[in-house]
Structures are given as C-alpha cells and as structure tokens.
Amino acid sequence: MLVSRLTTHNTAYRFWFCKGLNLEIGLEMYNQSTAGNNTSYGNRLFIYEVEGLGGSQDSEIAPTVRQSGITKFTVPYTRMQQESQRINRMGGRIVAVYPANGDVSSAPAAPSAPAKKEKKKVPTNTYRPKAPFVGQCISNEPLVGEGGNGIVQHIKFDLSGGDPHLAYLEGQSIGIIPEGTDKNGKPHKIRLYSIASTQHGDDLDDKTVSLCVRQLEYEDPETKETVYGVCSTYLCNLPVGAPVKITGPVGKEMLLPDDEDAKIIMFGTGTGIAPFRAYLWRMFKDGERAINPDYQFKGFAWLIFGVPKTPNILYKEELEELQAKYPDNFRLTYAISREQKNAEGGKMYIQNRVAENAPEIWQMLKDPKTRAYMCGLRGMEDGIDAAMAAEAEKEGIDWVDYRKTLKKEHRWNVETY
Ligand SMILES: Cc1cc2nc3c(=O)[nH]c(=O)nc-3n(C[C@H](O)[C@H](O)[C@H](O)COP(=O)(O)OP(=O)(O)OC[C@H]3O[C@@H](n4cnc5c(N)ncnc54)[C@H](O)[C@@H]3O)c2cc1C
Ligand SMILES: NC(=O)c1ccc[n+]([C@@H]2O[C@H](COP(=O)([O-])OP(=O)(O)OC[C@H]3O[C@@H](n4cnc5c(N)ncnc54)[C@H](OP(=O)(O)O)[C@@H]3O)[C@@H](O)[C@H]2O)c1
C-alpha cells in the first residue's frame, strides 16, 4: 500500500506501509544520476521506523531511539532484507525507511523484502503417474505458419468428469504419458509440458487445459538418421477424440502474482511462450477480464520473444491484437534469429534484445512490483545474465548477488529446458 512519496530534485523514494503481520516493505529509487557511478553501497546506513514492538526484541541490531511507540533501527544496506524479516517475525510493522545520513543522491535501489507469500492454494499432483487422469483431445491445431521451422501444435484437452477435478494455475505444468512402451517394453515415462491456457481454460469453462508443443526432431549424431521425440510426436499427431493420460499439475516457480499493478517481464524462446500466453490471456483477454472481477490487470507486461523466423511467432495475431488494445500496459519485443541481425552482425537472440534494453529492464528490476520470468531454451540464460551483469556493474552492483535476492523474493523465475 503506497502511503507517502518523498521526492528530491532527481530522486524519488517510495515507502510502503503494511498492516498486520504480513510485512511487505519496498524501497524504490529512481535516480538517473547513479548510472555509471561505481559507488559501493554495502556500507550505507538506513533508518527503519517500526511500530508494534514491545519491550523485548531479538534483533541483532540495537534500536537507536524509542519514542511514542516508534522504534528506530539503523540498518546497514547489506542487512536490510534480513532485518525486515526479523522485524516481521517480532510482530513489528515498518512504517518508514530512509537513508541515515539524509544523502539520498547515491543510495542504491535496495533489494526489497520478500514479495508477499502466495496466499492462494496451489494445486499440486492431483493426479500421479500411477493413476493418471484420462482426458480427451478436443483440438490439435498447427501454430507455425508457411515457411516456418518445424512443427508446433496448440493442443486442447477436455478435463471434465475428473474426480477430483484437475484444477491448475497459470505458470504450472502437466505431465503427459505417451501411449506405448519404451525399448525395454516398459510404459513410457511422463514428459512435462508448460500449460498454455489460463486456469479457466481456452473455453473459459474451467474444463480444459491447453499445451503448446514442438515436435522434437534431430539428426542422430552417429547414424545421421532423423529422430523424432516420442512424446512430442505422439502429442503433435494426436487425433481429436483420442484419450490422453495426464498427471499433475506441478510447479510453483512460474506462478503469476495476484497483484493487478505488477510489472511482469517475460523472456521466452519458442514454446517457452506457453506460460506467457496464459499470463497475457488472463491479463488482457476480454472474456478473462469479464470473469475475473478481482483481477483487472493495470500494471505493465513486457514480452521479449525469441523465434527463428516470422512464421514461428507463435500466437502472433493474438499477441499483436492485445498489444494494440493495451499499448500502455503491454510491450512486445521480438528477436527473430534468422531474419534480424544483432549489433555485431550475428543472429538476433533474445539476449541481444535484453542487452539493448538493459538500462530499462534494470530500472524495472529495482522496483519491488517487478517480477521477471524466463521460459524456453536453457541457452538464453547466460546471455541474459551477461546483459544484466553489465548493467548492474555500472552502479557497482554484483548481478549474481542481486539475482539471488531477486530469486528469494520470487522476482526472478526461471524454467528452462
Ligand atoms: C518444465 C518443463 C516444461 C516443458 N514445457 C514444454 C512445452 O511447453 N512445450 C514443449 O514442446 N516442450 C516442453 N518441454 C519439453 C518436454 O518435456 C519434452 O522434453 C520434449 O517434448 C521432448 O520429449 P520427447 O518425448 O518428444 O523426446 P524424447 O523421445 O524423450 O527424446 C528426447 C531425447 O532425445 C535426445 N535429443 C534431443 N535433442 C537431441 C539432439 N539435438 N541431438 C541428439 N540427441 C538429442 C536427448 O537424449 C533427449 O533426452 C518441457 C520440459 C520441462 C522440463
Ligand atoms: N526438452 C527438450 O528436449 C525440448 C523441448 C522443446 C523443444 N526442444 C527443442 O528445442 C529447440 C527449440 O524449440 P522451440 O520450439 O522451443 O523454439 P524455436 O521455435 O526453435 O525457437 C527457439 C529460438 O531460440 C533461439 N536460440 C537457439 N539457441 C539459443 C541460445 N543459446 N540463446 C538464445 N536463443 C537461442 C533459436 O535460434 P536459432 O534456431 O536460429 O539458432 C530460435 O530463435 C528445438 O530444436 C526443439 O526440438 C527440446
């Protein structure tokens, strides 16, 4: 809850105040003047004003002042998160945070305390491999346009009749057990697929789940024969009406926060679009907005999407429609590797787009309202880290440390395969 905002000539701090025991504090700074400044922030001090602490405190940091129910603590930057958690555990409520010396011009964008814990119940493993749910294929549609690379299908399954019902949330995955047996004559093992539909399903009746599946195809390095993946081939060729064994749902890494004002950065390659389709549909599709009165997204979503060719831009028309309808809330950036060139003349990969936009992404990441998600090829991770590390370095901040804090706060979420 934003209660007050203090602004100096070029710097703005926001203070979040919280009621009750669920403490959520954020300190956000916008300061263009710090770009390129190599100040080390570890030794900077901040004052926490805390309400609701009795006489006894187990804080390692001694309170400096107590007056009219407010206890003030002087907290080094490096211990801000730890101290917030401790105060929270003691039942205290942080009502203000500010730099100890009043010099706000070189203060860092402090890592915020953890984002509020997901309160909603997350369905997990409703169906396990030994007793999977048997759904039915309702539709199986191609997603790659003419001239595009390979086969990717949007496949919808009927979940009705399940007892218990196979409910799921955006960002989770399901398991599929392909028909048949492996080379040892044993039933095939499950393969995981990210769910591409919202929790209400593509028909908005809570009775379906959809996937976005690429048929795995590669050349055997020894025999040089073309090999097709077992489960992806089974799914991409699944006829309408066919039964299909489904397990799950699983996964808590990629859950979308309930916050309608959140800032969501999505890094996706190819079929990694699946969870982002679910997020974006929930945020912006008319039908979804109509049935989710408690979730009328008005924050900011940014999808950076890497694909080989234009016909491989999965869900292209719908993405661009949503972007046109919500230009202030949804930004869409493509990296089309085999058509566009990066600054060095090489393939335009997602990490090149991240590097181009690094100052903006970095500023966003400092905001406690921002969560970043990465889904798709594992290969993009190092490049994205390198781009963010270069940007963080300009402010003397170590990206790996910063990323650890973001991860703890559920603000840097990765599901790559
Ligand atoms: C959390 C999660 C979410 C996922 N979501 C999706 C999704 O949304 N969409 C999607 O399409 N996939 C997704 N996958 C991948 C999916 O689970 C399967 O791994 C994929 O479909 C391949 O399975 P398969 O049965 O077709 O291949 P398999 O028959 O299992 O063959 C895979 C094996 O082939 C070999 N292989 C693969 N490529 C090569 C190569 N180039 N050279 C030599 N050997 C190779 C490797 O040994 C590999 O283990 C996800 C994976 C995870 C873990
Ligand atoms: N678990 C699995 O085994 C699994 C699951 C799904 C898909 N796959 C395989 O993964 C590949 C991708 O399939 P997809 O449909 O998801 O994606 P896709 O449509 O092939 O798009 C992937 C995009 O990422 C680019 N890319 C490749 N290497 C990259 C790297 N290191 N960093 C950043 N970007 C990179 C690709 O560029 P270029 O291709 O032009 O280099 C392409 O633009 C396919 O070969 C598919 O068979 C494997």
Over residues 22-56, the pLDDT tens digits come to 222 222 222 222 223 333 445 677 777 777 776 54
Average pLDDT, the chain: 84
Ligand 1 centroid to Cα of residue 137, in Å, is 21
Is 110 among the domain residues? Answer: no
Say if residue 26 is in the same domain as residue 163: no
Mutate to test the pocket of ligand 1, among 182, 183, 193 (most ligand atoms within 8 A of CB): 193
SS3 134: strand
Atom number, ligand 2, closest to the C-alpha of residue 307: 43
Nearest-CA residue for ligand 1 atom 26 is 229
**pLDDT value at residue 189:** 97
Say if residue 143 is in the same domain as residue 188: yes
Indicate which ligand has the atom closest to the C-alpha of 175.
Answer: 1
Check pLDDT > 80 for residue 258.
yes
**Torsion of the alpha carbons at 350, 356, 357 and 358, rounded to the nearest 10:** 90
Indicate which ligand has the atom closest to the C-alpha of 304.
Answer: 2
Taking every pair of Cα atoms in the chain, the longest distance, rounded to a whole number of angstroms, is 79
Is 354 among the domain residues? Answer: yes
Ligand 2 centroid to Cα of residue 269, in Å, is 7
Last residue of a domain, one of 189, 221, 250: 250
Say if residue 80 is in the same domain as residue 157: no
Say if residue 84 is in the same domain as residue 162: no
- pLDDT digit string (tens) for 121-152? 899 999 999 999 999 999 999 999 999 999 99
Ligand 2 centroid to Cα of residue 345, in Å, is 20
377 CB near ligand 2 (under 6 Å) = yes
Residue entry with tokens 């039964």: 243
**pLDDT value at residue 84:** 73
- pLDDT digit string (tens) for 349-403? 999 999 999 999 999 999 999 999 999 999 999 999 999 999 999 999 999 999 9
Say if residue 175 is in the same domain as residue 154: yes
- pLDDT digit string (tens) for 56-111? 454 555 665 555 677 877 887 777 767 777 777 777 776 666 666 543 333 344 44
Check pLDDT > 50 for residue 11.
no
* pLDDT-wise least confident of 7-11, 69-73, 279-283: 7-11
Indicate which ligand has the atom closest to the C-alpha of 228.
Answer: 1
349 CB near ligand 2 (under 6 Å) = yes
153 CB near ligand 2 (under 6 Å) = no
311 CB near ligand 2 (under 6 Å) = no
Say if residue 217 is in the same domain as residue 165: yes
- For the annotated catalytic residues, the residue numbers are 193-194, 375, 415, 417
CATH number for position 162: 2.40.30.10
Is 123 among the domain residues? Answer: no
**pLDDT value at residue 7:** 30
- pLDDT digit string (tens) for 172-213? 999 999 999 999 999 999 999 999 999 999 999 999 999 999
pTM for the model: 0.78
Say if residue 89 is in the same domain as residue 195: no
Q: Using CB atoms within 10 A of its CB, is residue 141 exposed (0-12), middle (13-18) or buried (19+)?
A: exposed
Is 350 among the domain residues? Answer: yes
Nearest-CA residue for ligand 2 atom 47 is 216
Q: What is the chain's Cα-based Rg?
A: 24
Say if residue 76 is in the same domain as residue 155: no
**pLDDT value at residue 87:** 76
The CA distance from 227 to 220, in Å, is 6
Say if residue 284 is in the same domain as residue 380: yes
Average pLDDT over residues 19-24: 27
Is 106 among the domain residues? Answer: no
Is 111 among the domain residues? Answer: no
SS3 257: coil
- pLDDT digit string (tens) for 339-353? 999 999 999 999 999
Say if residue 54 is in the same domain as residue 169: no
Strand order in the sheet with 27-30: 2-7, 12-16, 27-30
Nearest-CA residue for ligand 2 atom 20 is 270
Indicate which ligand has the atom closest to the C-alpha of 313.
Answer: 2
The CA distance from 112 to 405, in Å, is 8
Say if residue 315 is in the same domain as residue 395: yes
Is 73 among the domain residues? Answer: yes
Percent residues over pLDDT 70 in the chain: 79
Q: Using CB atoms within 10 A of its CB, is residue 194 exposed (0-12), middle (13-18) or buried (19+)?
A: buried
Last residue of a domain, one of 78, 99, 120: 99
CATH number for position 292: 3.40.50.80
Nearest-CA residue for ligand 2 atom 46 is 216
Last residue of a domain, one of 250, 272, 301: 250
**pLDDT value at residue 46:** 73
* pLDDT-wise least confident of 15-19, 156-160, 226-230: 15-19
172 CB near ligand 1 (under 6 Å) = no
Mutate to test the pocket of ligand 1, among 192, 197, 210, 218 (most ligand atoms within 8 A of CB): 192
Say if residue 234 is in the same domain as residue 340: no
213 CB near ligand 1 (under 6 Å) = yes
Check pLDDT > 80 for residue 15.
no
Is 112 among the domain residues? Answer: no
- At 157, which helix (H) or strand (E)? strand 152-158
Domain count, the chain: 3
Containing structural domain, residue 361? 263-416
